[in-house]
A and B are shown apart, each in its own frame.
Chain A
């Protein structure tokens, strides 16, 4: 049984090694952050600005809904909401959905960012749930709007 300590030490080393390797490559996965604080909430402007003011963004609280949790990200210019999207989504089903794609496929115009694409709107299947509204509301509360 003197081998037991050696095994335990080796296991600890193996565990540490994997964790270190993982932390080095993808720092954001272990320990997701909570709602991000807005950079500088500016609730004062009331007139609709014709030029863009400083945009601030907040992510609402992660709310549980039927299939997992989601958090809504709201972007505001002044008191106008300019963008609402889902910032974080964790579902078992989505996970299992992604399992069908072992290699994440590339789509045409791969990974356009909504910010840089200069679009008028985004069409997508979205969430019709209370969680979505609550999370969005909490993001707005953080921004101090309405």
Chain B
């Protein structure tokens, strides 16, 4: 899928070698999922499914899981997240990224590491809590200053962010098929990373309706940045303040790895 995934593991009492093995197998699992869900590989199951050459019964079981999640996400987002409304056919890529990252974290649970955080292209799945802190500190990328952060959030759950600032208006409003500009970035926190991912996408697409939808979601918090710089956050969002930063040294990551996108040139699907 062409995403960079990074791992940050605090082994705790778990032996370092076990942690490393777990990360390696998590990476392997990510490659497997990439083979299934990469829309840039014409022979992948998802590509064939989109082209109508593969039916659900013959597809790998992961596909059905993802499809169910997509339906759940669509309902939860009141239709604003709709992978069936994408030009070119059903495209669950937005949700798959978060789901795959969550799968990777699940693998890390096995050797009982104390804490881990996996960042799959901006989608963050967490395990446990960092040493010396009561929450993970996650920076949200600034929509129009590439090197800066918009804010720092404190959370113990998954974080996903979506925005239209780097790929142009690739977000299509499913209601009228047009492209939107009104929301620059939306960040969603919750227990299920794929749903956070889908909701974040939905909130960006929903534009002015975003804050209202965010407030109606139970169990999810959202932070939205408009193109004019207006920020909106639900009540459950906790912003980190300068003075509360911990000064302990960051534990070194065990290893970093990402799946290379050794596929053909990306097919940029655009509306007509």
Contacts and interface: CB of A to CB of B under 8 A. Distances in A.
A and B in contact, CB less than 8 Å: yes
Contact of A112 (B152, B252, B258): B152
Given A120-B138, A123-B138, A91 B121 contact: no
B65 interface: no
B206 interface: no
Nearest to A136: B4
A34 to B, nearest CB: 17
B167 A67 contact: yes
A97 B121 contact: no
A48 B17 CA distance: 11
A86 B146 contact: yes
A123 B253 contact: no
A48 B144 contact: no
A123 B160 contact: yes
Interface residues of A, number: 55
Interface in A115-146: 117-130, 132-133, 136-137
Interface in B184-224: 184-185, 187, 200
Contacts of A88: 146
B177 interface: no
B122 A122 contact: yes
Interface of B is mostly: loop
Contacts of A119: 137-139, 149, 152
Nearest to B153: A123
A121 B136 contact: yes
B93 A128 contact: yes
A130 B261 contact: yes
A101 B228 CA distance: 6
Given A89-B146, A107-B151, A123 B165 contact: no
A84 to B, nearest CB: 5
Given A111-B142, A130-B261, A118 B137 contact: yes
Interface stretch (B71-79, B103-111, B262-270): B262-270
A111 B225 CA distance: 14
Interface in B109-157: 117, 119, 121-124, 130, 136-142, 144-152
A40 interface: no
Nearest to A88: B146
Shortest beta-carbon contacts, A-B, top 6: A105-B229, A124-B141, A93-B168, A125-B163, A112-B149, A66-B268
5 contacts: A118-B247, A129-B2, A130-B40, A130-B263, A136-B258
Given A104-B144, A123-B160, A124-B163, 18 more contacts: A50-B252, A66-B266, A91-B166, A100-B181, A101-B227, A101-B229, A108-B151, A109-B149, A109-B242, A113-B147, A118-B137, A119-B137, A119-B139, A120-B130, A120-B138, A122-B140, A125-B161, A125-B185
Interface of B: 1-4, 6, 8, 16, 40, 93, 97, 117, 119, 121-124, 130, 136-142, 144-152, 159-169, 181, 184-185, 187, 200, 225, 227-231, 239, 242, 245-247, 249-256, 258, 260-261, 263, 265-266, 268
